[in-house]
Amino acid sequence: MEQTATFFDTWYNSTAKLVNDWREATEKLNGEQRNMWDEAGKMQQNWMSSFQSMMQNMQLPFMGGSGSSPFAHSGMQDAFFNMLKSTDVYTRLFQLWQPVLQAMQNNSFQSQDFWKLIDQQGFKTFVDKLFGFDAVTPVRTFMDQSTQMMKLWMSSATEASKNFGPMFSNGLPFFGSLTQLNPQSLTQWYMQMAQTAQRSMAPFWGSTDTGQIPSMQSVVEMMEQWGNYMAKMNQLQTMLYKHSVSAWEKVMQTMADKAKEGNVPTDFNQFYNEWSAINEAEFVALFNTDEYAALQGELIKLNSEMNKAYEKQMEVFLQPYPVVLRSQLDEVYKVNHELRGRINTLEKLVDELQKNKPENQAPQNQLEIKTPNAEEGKPGRKENK
């Protein structure tokens, strides 16, 4: 925690110096310097580089949830993280469009040169960041939750889990690779897990009906699902890239038309607002197509099936151990829910019977309102009236 706090404090304290340095450097620049754009570009690159480094440093403790944040409340932590991410997008956009806007400013812009002026890799990275493909948050969340679940299971296991526990911990670093959507890492991790599990659990597997072959079959099935998911995700990314290209060309045309009329934005924020309005309209139109909706639906389905397969796989590994599995808990919840419903029905019946006793019957002119029992926590549906 101290290390993280020091990191943040250092960053905060050094920022003022950085800003002052830039301002001093800016003052040194003057119109006679032929390489002033180069100088400015270098400083900008340095800024972006240090900014990226800070972003990367911050993501780890933020995601870990180990209490190492310098913020008093997680909401403030999230807010700052969102500020950083948004600034990242904003400044990347600035960087990508700068050559185009500069050419427009110098009256040297030709629309056919548009994509020659835009850094292609930077464009792809920008779209990835805008739609969250870089962080792959859902996968990370999925993996975090699974890890948490495994830890809970393992913490409640007996001596038999001693070999399995360290093996699982050793496997944890692979989650980092998984979040980069690397199927090879997933295979490797599962193979290691399966081999270690096989060694440590062989005696138990011998006494159960879930042996090695079914387990490996399910690994193969999951790998197939992962492959399908990745293929669909690629389709989605491609769709977003194509629409981004189209939206950016519309922005370019709008800006070029305005430049011809001498009606150009006076600051970058104005440009951003123009860019944002055009892009948002384009993407909302895309999201309202059956093609997009169908692809999104397929991705959610594949993700759900992967999630389920993963759970199933974990249960196969954990079945020999004296731990409660999620599927077993679900059964308990289901039975509890049915029992609570029946109790609720019976309570209503008792209430009706009590109300129908002669001494409890209300006079004709008295309002009769049935009141649920406030003390009893029974759920659910009443009988039809």
Residues 209-228 within binding reach of other proteins (CB under 8 A): none
- Residue from 208, 224, 287, 322 binding other proteins (CB under 8 A): 287
Query: Among residue numbers 249 through 268, which ones bind other proteins (CB under 8 A)?
Result: 264-268
Number of other residues whose CB lies within 10 A of the CB of residue 270: 11
Considering the complex, state which of residue 18 and residue 350 has its C-beta at the smaller distance from other proteins. Answer: 18
Residue 362 engages other proteins in binding (rule: CB under 8 A): no
Report in angstroms how near the CB of residue 235 gets to other proteins at its nearest: 14
Report in angstroms how near the CB of residue 375 gets to other proteins at its nearest: 9
Residue 162 engages other proteins in binding (rule: CB under 8 A): no
Residue 276 engages other proteins in binding (rule: CB under 8 A): yes
Site size for other proteins (CB under 8 A): 100
Query: Among residue numbers 19 through 58, which ones bind other proteins (CB under 8 A)?
Result: 19, 22-23, 25-26, 29, 36-37, 39-40, 43-44, 47, 51
Cβ–Cβ < 8 Å for 177, 139? no
- Residue from 118, 130, 160, 223 binding other proteins (CB under 8 A): 130
Cβ-defined contacts of 84-92 (< 8 Å, 24+): 84/54, 84/55, 84/58, 85/55, 85/129, 87/51, 88/51, 88/52, 88/55, 88/129, 89/126, 89/129, 89/130, 90/272, 91/47, 91/48, 91/51, 92/48, 92/122, 92/125, 92/126, 92/129
Report in angstroms how near the CB of residue 104 gets to other proteins at its nearest: 7
Number of other residues whose CB lies within 10 A of the CB of residue 214: 11
Report in angstroms how near the CB of residue 200 gets to other proteins at its nearest: 28
- Residue from 337, 339, 361, 362 binding other proteins (CB under 8 A): 337
- Residue from 73, 159, 261, 365 binding other proteins (CB under 8 A): 73
Report in angstroms how near the CB of residue 291 gets to other proteins at its nearest: 10
Residue 124 engages other proteins in binding (rule: CB under 8 A): no
Q: Which helix (H) or strand (E) holds 249?
A: helix 212-260
Considering the complex, state which of residue 171 and residue 341 has its C-beta at the smaller distance from other proteins. Answer: 341
Residues with Cβ within 8 Å of 319's Cβ and at least 6 positions away in sequence, in order, are 208, 210, 325
Report in angstroms how near the CB of residue 361 gets to other proteins at its nearest: 17
- Residue from 155, 172, 257, 333 binding other proteins (CB under 8 A): 333
Residue 167 engages other proteins in binding (rule: CB under 8 A): no
Cβ–Cβ < 8 Å for 115, 138? no
Find, among 102, 109, 113, the residue nearest to 38 by Cα.
102
Exposure string of 327-339, with b = 16+ CB inside 10 Å and e = fewer, is eeeeeeeeeeeee
Half-sphere exposure of 225 (CA within 13 A, CB side): 20
